[in-house]
Structure 1
Amino acid sequence: MNEAVRNLHGKAPPPSDAGDGQQARLRDAGVNLGAILEPSERDPREAADLPESLRLTPPAITSLRPLRHDFVPVPPPGDGLRVMPLAAFHWGGRERGIGALPQPRLRGDHVLLHLQEGVLQIDFPRQQSRHIGETLAFVPSGTAFSMRPDAQLRGQVLLIPHRLTAGMQMPLPQEFRSGIPQDADRQMLGPAFRALAGGTPKDKPARIAMLCQFELISFALGRLTRHLPGVADTVGSLIHSRPLTERFLTLAAQNLASGRTMSELAAMLGCSLATLDNACRQTRGRSALQLTYELRMERAVTALRATRTPITQIAQELGYTSVGHFMRAFADATGRTPEAFRAVSGTWREWI
């Protein structure tokens, strides 16, 4: 090939003793003029003994495109409040190999996944979380994960920038959480996603409404049906535990104002309190007493949002010993007094 280059450009003249040593090495090696392989302080193609057509002309600086000072970079993940189809949300780093799942990658915003139909797998650095059918999952900001949902998956994703959650009285969870939403919460999710699909609020009333939606979502995440580590959850035990838990919740709802104890309710169901608590923990992750507290809060939230029933009457109907007891319990659960929650709910109805 070197001989062909010499024949094309003419035989190179022998190097002179006083010539440039770097040019001499290039000529002796037969390097063609289009590819300089040896670094040099100046380009040998600028030598006086080369044809004019082979000399380089440095490009003029004025030919460069001027910099744009009005350029706005693409916002990184977590820069805005967004709702998108679950099947379109792919996240992760590089793939480990052909056909492999992407590596977990850190994300800066909160991710709320509402799976309605299909199978969803979320990969974390040291474990996997697999979900089938109706599921609500929450991945807090700063968590490394990856997922590649199937195109046939049905559901939605809500991306919540961490900065928008400032001022929440009932903050979102700080750890990954997933499970089956309660029936009342499932009915709330659709309107909540639609209300938040408008993006980041522009004024104070809209921001108040947004925070109200966030707190309802946080409340729903705290009531998910999930299995706890270390609790026996064999198919046989769940077959017996789930119907007992459902019967208990129905009975507890009918006796909220009666003042009956958990032992009395368990006796009415024909079982001991220990058996009832075990069934509730297996299916709902909480004791019978905790589920009763949550049931009272659910009824209180519904009454405050949808009716103008006096707070004194609500406390009495839910079985609280006094209005003060109800107000303390409600503030502990939601971060707001009943009056403040009702006022915010009124603002939410006006703006959504």
Structure 2
Amino acid sequence: MNDLSALSQLRFVAIPRLAAHGRWRVEAMRSLSEPMLLWFTKGQGRITIAGSTRGYTAHNAVFIPPGVMHGFEVGPQVFGTAVYFGRDCTLPLPKVPQHLRIRETFAQQELNMTLDAIQRELGSDIPAHDRAAHHHLGLLSVWLERQVHKAGGEVKDSDAAGRLVARYANLLERNFRSGMGVAEFAEALGVTSTHLTRCCKQTCGKPASNLLHDRLIFEARTLLSDTKTPVGKIASELGFASPAYFTRAFQHKTGKSPSAFRKEA
């Protein structure tokens, strides 16, 4: 990160706070436009990255590059820190998702101390605090690179099903607003919708249609709660054939109409 002003985009959020305004904000499939590191220090759950579901426990570090579809459970016993690096981050960070199980006590302490140091410097007004935060952030990048190397590289899907679902998740993330259905996605991937659904169930326990609907409804919820965009326009932007069809799909998934959800958000 050569431009120290980019530090203003860096954010640290306690993982329980991510679900403070609804667990759907973390559990539904979505992607971010910036890199993110999840450091779980207590609790356990499941996390889905690029269509593949794995369990996580305490002392797991999960790095998710921008544009990668993901979602994870946040139960009442889950604690940790989410680090958002910002869209303008130029740190050397992993290019593919990483799920690192940090078993060495020293490595756990090293990460905790580095995160504490960054936050301390960011909250300080002493001379050169921004430069110090920048250097500690560089050490975080080094820590990640070393742990990835120690783990043997990257999160890999060892079978054809995992590779296909990862391609589907990537294609879905880029085209979920298009109005395409599972059959169209499957055709674009060169497989049948039946085969794609079978592979999705194998890698994440959900059919291909669930991943698509989950991504669409997350986007709809976000637009309804965070913007004043009319319901009809949201339906059109997300590729629904009509506002009525969008309302039925939204209510089926959430139990509420779009208007009712917006009032309560």
Aligning the two structures, in what range does the TM-score lie when normalised by the shorter sequence? 0.3 to 0.5
More helix by share: 2
TM-score (norm 2): 0.42
Structure with the larger RCO, 1 or 2 (CA within 8 Å, 6+ apart): 2
TM-score (norm 1): 0.33
